[in-house]
């Protein structure tokens, strides 16, 4: 009889243990949900945790504080001069003369980061060490700075020279043309921007070839026809 009673009592004990575990888990989930909810409310006017601007940590900061940190730290990077190497020659460029940082617009992008969905927000609040977002700063081009840089670079390029035909008596003589060189301005500005934000001391600019308006083979064909 004792053994039968013990067997009948086992399911009751199991049910009690399962119910206790379920209740405990439910309480833990409620507490975690409450903590996450409270943290989300506290951060409603702040940049969410895990958000950075070009590597600068702004997560958890109030909006005004985040804007100030962006202005100071990103602004300092743009002030550092960068050496631009061109075919054995080096010129110095200061990114702050070419790019204008917009701290307010950058902070607005940082504030919007990780707020695209409820899942993103919960992830940023609950596990910020896993949810990382890096926002690129808003940089506007300064036309005057670009013109000044272009003048420096143009001095290091070579203008193309067109081939042409001259007559020596009755004989046409071809004077050969020459390729020129130029810079890809858009690519150079992108490289300069990236170097400034990463804190690199220098970059290398690549020269592109430019064909003359009239090439030597074209001039030779004209001479043959003459």
Q: At what angle do helices 2-42 and 118-126 cross, to 10 degrees?
A: 100
The whole-model pTM stands at 0.69
pLDDT tens for 78-102 read: 999 999 998 788 999 999 999 999 9
CA-based nearest residue to 33, from 142, 125, 160, 171: 125
pLDDT tens for 34-89 read: 444 444 445 567 898 889 999 999 988 999 999 999 999 999 999 999 999 987 88
- Asked if residues 86 and 153 have their Cβ atoms less than 8 Å apart, the reply is yes
Q: Residue 152 forms beta bridges with which residues?
A: none
Cα–Cα dist 216/161, whole Å: 10
Q: CB atoms < 10 A from the CB of 132, how many? A: 14
């Amino acid at each position: 009889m004792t053994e039968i009673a013990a067997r009948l009592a086992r399911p009751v004990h199991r049910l009690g243990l399962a119910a206790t575990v379920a209740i405990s888990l439910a309480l833990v989930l409620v507490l975690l949900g409450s903590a996450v909810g409270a943290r989300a409310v506290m951060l409603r006017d702040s940049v969410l945790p895990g958000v950075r601007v070009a590597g600068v940590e702004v997560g958890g900061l109030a909006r005004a504080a985040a804007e100030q940190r962006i202005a100071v730290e990103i602004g300092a990077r743009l002030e550092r001069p960068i050496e631009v190497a061109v075919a054995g020659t080096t010129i110095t460029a200061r990114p702050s003369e070419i790019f204008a940082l917009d701290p307010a617009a950058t902070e607005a992008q940082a504030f919007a980061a990780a707020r695209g969905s409820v899942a993103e927000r919960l992830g940023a609040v609950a596990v910020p060490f896993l949810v990382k977002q890096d926002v690129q700063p808003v940089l506007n081009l300064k036309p005057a700075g670009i013109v000044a840089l272009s003048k420096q670079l143009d001095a290091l390029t070579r203008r193309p020279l067109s081939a042409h035909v001259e007559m020596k008596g009755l004989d046409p003589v071809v004077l050969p043309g020459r390729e020129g060189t130029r810079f890809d301005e858009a690519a150079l500005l992108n490289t300069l921007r990236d170097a400034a934000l990463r804190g690199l001391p220098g970059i290398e600019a690549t020269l592109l070839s430019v064909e003359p308006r009239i090439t030597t083979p074209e001039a030779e064909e004209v001479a043959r026809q003459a």
